[in-house]
Structures are given as C-alpha cells and as structure tokens.
Amino acid sequence: MEYLEAKEKFISTWGSLGSLWGINKAMAQIQALLFIATKPLSMEDIMEELKISRGNTSMNLRQLMDWGIVTKVLVSGERKEFFTTEKDVQELARIVAKERSRREIRPVIKVLEDVSSIKNDGTEKSKELIKQTKALHQLTLDLDTLMNKMVNQKQNWLTKSVFKLMK
C-alpha cells in the first residue's frame, strides 16, 4: 500500500470511528489529518485535503478546540491560522474520556439521581423504579469515578496494568 492510499484509508476509518467517540465524521477526519501531519495545517490545507467546505471546516475546528483536542498554532511570518492536535495517543484518550464524561455521563448521572429520588408513594411500581434507578445511578457514578481516576493518572503501574487487562 502506498502512502496516499494508506493516508486516505486511515483518515476515512478514523472518521467512521468518530461516532464512537461522540464526534461527527468530519470532526474525526480533521483530527486524523492533523494527527498524522508533520506540521500545523491551515484551514485551507484541511479543506483541500479533505474536500470539505470552509463552513464545515471552521465549525468542526471550533468544536475540536472546544473539546481540547485541537489547538491554534502561531506560524511566524504567516497571517493564516494554523492548527495542530495532540500527538500522544494516551493523552488524546485522556482528553476524549474527560470530555465525554463531562458532556454525556455526568448529565445521565444527574438524571438518574433526580429520578431515583422521587417520593415513594408505597406502590410496587414506584419502589421498583427507585430501586433500579438508584442501583443504576450508583453503578454509573462508580464507573465515572473509576474512569476519571484512570484518565487523571499519568502512565503509571496502575493504568498500565488496567490497559493490559483490557487487551
């Protein structure tokens, strides 16, 4: 496989996997392109490489910056804005996990907390709803706590061991 074919395949695949991370295909493709780039890229570079519009590129770059995955870089002598992404895959995984927790898991924890704290009217239905949502709330809270502890650790013996167990 030649470089261009491998590059296109990687960007395409990464784009498809983006939905698993909670981001859209174009966002993931932009991040993939920046991830394998040897230097920061301008918006025009990204548009040309991925064949996407200025609006799509701009909107997705802004979202990637909101996630903390992409940053603007000053290139001396250039008036254009340039962008880069985190190159360390472990750090990238930590950033994505923290952001997904903030955007997705914590709101669910709040809903489960609210639902499980309804007034018990003594019926079997309300007792079952309270019991099950409390259990789910606790499980979700525990998993979020565990994930946050793992992502807040730099690569140490614990996270290395956990990652080995997950393989």
pLDDT tens profile 127-139:
899 999 999 999 9
Average pLDDT over residues 92-104: 82
The reported pLDDT for the residue numbered 160 is 63
| Segment 4-60, tens digit of pLDDT | 899 999 998 988 888 777 778 899 999 999 999 999 999 999 999 999 999 999 999
Looking at per-residue pLDDT, the higher value among 51 and 91 belongs to: 51
Looking at per-residue pLDDT, the higher value among 2 and 118 belongs to: 2
| Segment 55-82, tens digit of pLDDT | 999 999 999 999 888 999 998 888 899 9
CATH class for the region spanning 3-85: mainly alpha
Of 73, 76, 18, which is closest to residue 50 (Cα–Cα)?
18
Specify whether the CB–CB gap between 53 and 128 falls below 8 A.
no
Give the span between the Cα atoms of 117 and 133, in whole angstroms: 9
The reported pLDDT for the residue numbered 167 is 62
Q: Which of 16-25, 47-56, 112-121, 153-162 has the highest mean pLDDT?
A: 47-56
Q: How many helical (H) and strand (E) elements, i.e. helices and strands, does the chain have?
A: 8, 3
73 is written with which tokens? 């870089």
C-alpha dist (Å) from residue 25 to 11, 101, 109: 10, 20, 27
